[in-house]
Amino acid sequence: MNRIERLLSSMTLSEKLGQLTMTACGHAVTGPTIAGDSTAAIKSGAIGNLLNLVGAQDVRDMQKLAVEESRLGIPLLIGYDVIHGHRTVFPVPLAEAGLFDPATWTLTAREAAKEAAADGLALTFAPMLDVARDPRWGRIAEGPGEDPWLGMRIAAAKVRGFQGDDLSAADAVAACAKHYCAYGAVMAGREYASVDISERTVLEVHMPPFASAVHAGVACIMPAFTDLAGVPMTANAAMLRDWLRDKLGFDGVIISDYNAIAELIHHGVAADKAAAAALALQAGVDIDMMADAYRNGLPIALQRGLVTIGQIDTSVRRVLKLKENLGLFEDPYRRGARAEDPAELLKRRELAREVAVRSIVMLKNTASTLPLSASVKRLALLGPLADASPEMRGPWWGAAGETGQITVLEGLRDAFPAVEITHAQGVPIAADDVSGMSAALQACEGADAIVLCAGEAATMSGEAASRAHLGLPGVQRSFCELVFARARQLNTPVIVVLFSGRPLVVPWLIEAADAVLAAWFPGSEAGHAIADLIVGRASPSGRTPVSWPRAAGQVPIFFGERPSGRPAAASDHFTSKYLDVANDPLFPFGFGLTYGKFEFGNLRVSPHAVRESQMIEALIDVTNVGAGEAEETVFLFTHDVLASVARPLLELKAFAKIKLAPGARGTVTLSFAAAELRFLGLSLQPVFEFGEIEILVGPCADRAKLLRAVVQLTP
């Protein structure tokens, strides 16, 4: 009999349910405390998993209670939200998606895992894989953006990074892909609201990143808080048991979201905790996070005949197997046993700076305003986000403190040691205080350039941070307009650094500024990264992983929409368009300027007749006709011209990068398997239909900028 079966045969019902219970743990003056409970519950086996405990010694102390003072000595599984870094914070995931670089996506997860494991942690509630096409939803900041194909690549990269080659290694943590499935499609972009979309959209848009995570070996999956067409995901047996476990083959641990099992009562599908616990267990949820529904409800559910002890044992086996795979039975103290080398921490900060530089998107650069000339003598640095260390972290900052992030003020002072920098906040991020406006406008006098830092607070993105109005909060717009007006009078260029966890609807700002950097929330090295771009140490290379709307009324807006029977035509009133704004986004998916300028030509695609088993290869020549060395991202989209089901106007299938000096030319090769052109047919089963496929290659999801070729899919 193996270890797991021996333990199962020895466990009481309370001890079994303890393995299916996860409770939050925090800190008090006296040390770690367990939410609503005491450490005696760990010793008795009534709690087998913890979240939100940070610090190697505190983790060790808690682990010691389970391993050395409980009857069976089963180690704790301890998890934390390591979303985009732990103590070293990388750019928010939406920003990092704009790198279009799987190797870097893996690397940042690997470094975050090392840092979290050094704190004693064995589980992260990441990656967040919710495809989102509505920037009103605050959690768009945590995910891969609008495209499922991109989400698939990010999913695989992040799972590899967090879990490494050996899940039992001292620097590996179990990944938990979330939130399965379609959480990003909440009604009106409102957090925790209902989701009611077609089965085709679920399968084609929202499922693929999770399937990719499963294929990559993800250890855990977390269901969404939300319902899908009236069935809450926490109790959705069709999605969890039938699709995730049976069809996709996931055999790992399913962990509920925070209190989600108890919330089945609010959803109106369970009368009490016992009924809620039974629904979740039957659907396949193994660990109950913070609802205490399994501990308190499953004994009653057993008495009512709603569940069986065999169902409970199945979940306990999965939890124990995860702990075994993590090496917790062999050495429960291996994570956090050794402090990290300070040199490793320094290298990680350097990586955070590099990734932040590459994540920032230059949206505008009139008359080569950027990079700033070396002749600059005086800068005016304005705005509520110019010297705001806590905000640079973004909405999920892990264990990073409020201080320690490099601000724009600090970064510019380092980059321009001989330049006089006058800093004035002007206005707060969200409050209506205008008392600082005059001083800020005065700071513009005599400046060679104005750097204006505007945007959201970090907590305006992330969970429970939906916004109906996607402009600048507070009185920032009024302040910015005054700065622009004064700058015009002084003939001084204004560089806007825009901070947010989502696309903002600010066409007026883009129009008025001379240059705009979408910095997102760049993390620990924010100020240095922004300064590197402003002074020209690096050329911007970030790309938009989501479309930026012109108006909130365009939302949801994304490049993968299906064709209309009445496509927009200026000459025909009765076509699909708005009366008051253009259909197209302000900035399309994949947009981003550099200090170079790229031209595309000579697209060659082979073979012209393609079978399902073959690869399709596209070559395109790229020339840098600009003044600076820069890196261009090249995208390959496809369009199935005639199909049994109308296909999206553009589907992303490949991307590549090329760095070129001024005047240099290179050839980019992009390839993908023809089998990727399968789609879900009329019966929602994969089909490979013969006929014409457009291959479109270029700098972004703007068809006018893409070169086109055609291939034929054949038997």
Distance CA 82, CA 218 (A): 15
Sequence-distant (6+) residues with CB within 8 A of 98 are 145, 359, 361, 542, 543, 544, 545, 592
Task: Tell me what pLDDT residue 32 has.
Answer: 72
Q: Which of 554, 579, 610 is the last residue of a domain?
A: 554
578 found inside a domain: no
Task: Tell me what pLDDT residue 134 has.
Answer: 98
- Is residue 415 within 8 Å of 534, Cβ to Cβ? yes
For the cut 70, the answer to whether the pLDDT of residue 29 exceeds it is no
Taking only the tens place, the pLDDT of each residue in 649-686 is 999 999 999 999 999 999 999 999 999 999 999 999 99
Residue 28's pLDDT band (cuts 50, 70, 90): low
Residue 427's pLDDT band (cuts 50, 70, 90): very high
Q: Which of 656, 661, 657 is nearest to 623 (CA)?
A: 661
Rg (CA), the chain: 26
- My answer on whether 19 and 131 are in the same domain is no
Instruction: Read off the pTM.
Output: 0.97
- My answer on whether 369 and 241 are in the same domain is no
Average pLDDT over residues 161-182: 98
For the cut 90, the answer to whether the pLDDT of residue 326 exceeds it is yes
Catalytic positions are 257
- My answer on whether 365 and 465 are in the same domain is yes
Q: Which of 516, 484, 483 is nearest to 498 (CA)?
A: 516
- My answer on whether 165 and 312 are in the same domain is yes
For the cut 60, the answer to whether the pLDDT of residue 714 exceeds it is yes
Distance CA 130, CA 597 (A): 33
Q: Which of 325, 360, 377 is the last residue of a domain?
A: 325
In this structure, what CATH number is given to the domain that contains residue 497?
3.40.50.1700
Taking only the tens place, the pLDDT of each residue in 328-361 is 999 999 999 998 999 999 999 999 999 999 999 9
Task: Tell me what pLDDT residue 35 has.
Answer: 78
Taking only the tens place, the pLDDT of each residue in 526-556 is 999 999 999 999 999 999 999 999 999 999 9
For the cut 90, the answer to whether the pLDDT of residue 31 exceeds it is no
Residue 34's pLDDT band (cuts 50, 70, 90): confident
Residue 616's pLDDT band (cuts 50, 70, 90): very high
Taking only the tens place, the pLDDT of each residue in 592-610 is 999 999 999 999 999 999 9
564 found inside a domain: no
Residue bearing tokens 């771009």: 533
Sequence-distant (6+) residues with CB within 8 A of 210 are 129, 155, 177, 180, 181, 221, 244, 248
490 found inside a domain: yes
Helix, strand or coil, per DSSP, at residue 98 = coil
Task: Tell me what pLDDT residue 38 has.
Answer: 81
Angle of helix 309-325 versus helix 3-10 axis, rounded to 10: 140
- My answer on whether 280 and 360 are in the same domain is no
For the cut 60, the answer to whether the pLDDT of residue 30 exceeds it is no
- My answer on whether 243 and 286 are in the same domain is yes
- My answer on whether 241 and 106 are in the same domain is yes
Q: What is the DSSP string of 474-507?
A: TTHHHHHHHHHHHHHHHT--EEEEEE-SS----H
Residue 537's CB: how many other CB atoms inside 10 A? 13
For the cut 60, the answer to whether the pLDDT of residue 425 exceeds it is yes
In this structure, what CATH number is given to the domain that contains residue 656?
2.60.40.10
For the cut 70, the answer to whether the pLDDT of residue 448 exceeds it is yes
- My answer on whether 98 and 247 are in the same domain is yes
Residue 27's pLDDT band (cuts 50, 70, 90): low
- My answer on whether 20 and 87 are in the same domain is no
Name the amino acid, one letter, at 68.
E
- My answer on whether 89 and 63 are in the same domain is no
Residue 37's pLDDT band (cuts 50, 70, 90): confident
> Into how many domains does the chain fold?
4
H/E element, 124: strand 123-124
Task: Tell me what pLDDT residue 90 has.
Answer: 98
476 found inside a domain: yes
E-only strand ranges, 163-238 = 174-180, 220-223, 227-228, 231-232
- My answer on whether 394 and 334 are in the same domain is no
562 found inside a domain: no
In terms of residue numbers, what domain contains 48? 1-78+327-340
In this structure, what CATH number is given to the domain that contains residue 302?
3.20.20.300
- My answer on whether 126 and 231 are in the same domain is yes
92 found inside a domain: yes
Distance CA 545, CA 371 (A): 24
Sequence-distant (6+) residues with CB within 8 A of 557 are 133, 547, 549, 585
612 found inside a domain: yes
514 found inside a domain: yes
For the cut 80, the answer to whether the pLDDT of residue 450 exceeds it is yes
Q: Burial level of 214, CB count in 10 A (0-12/13-18/19+)?
A: buried
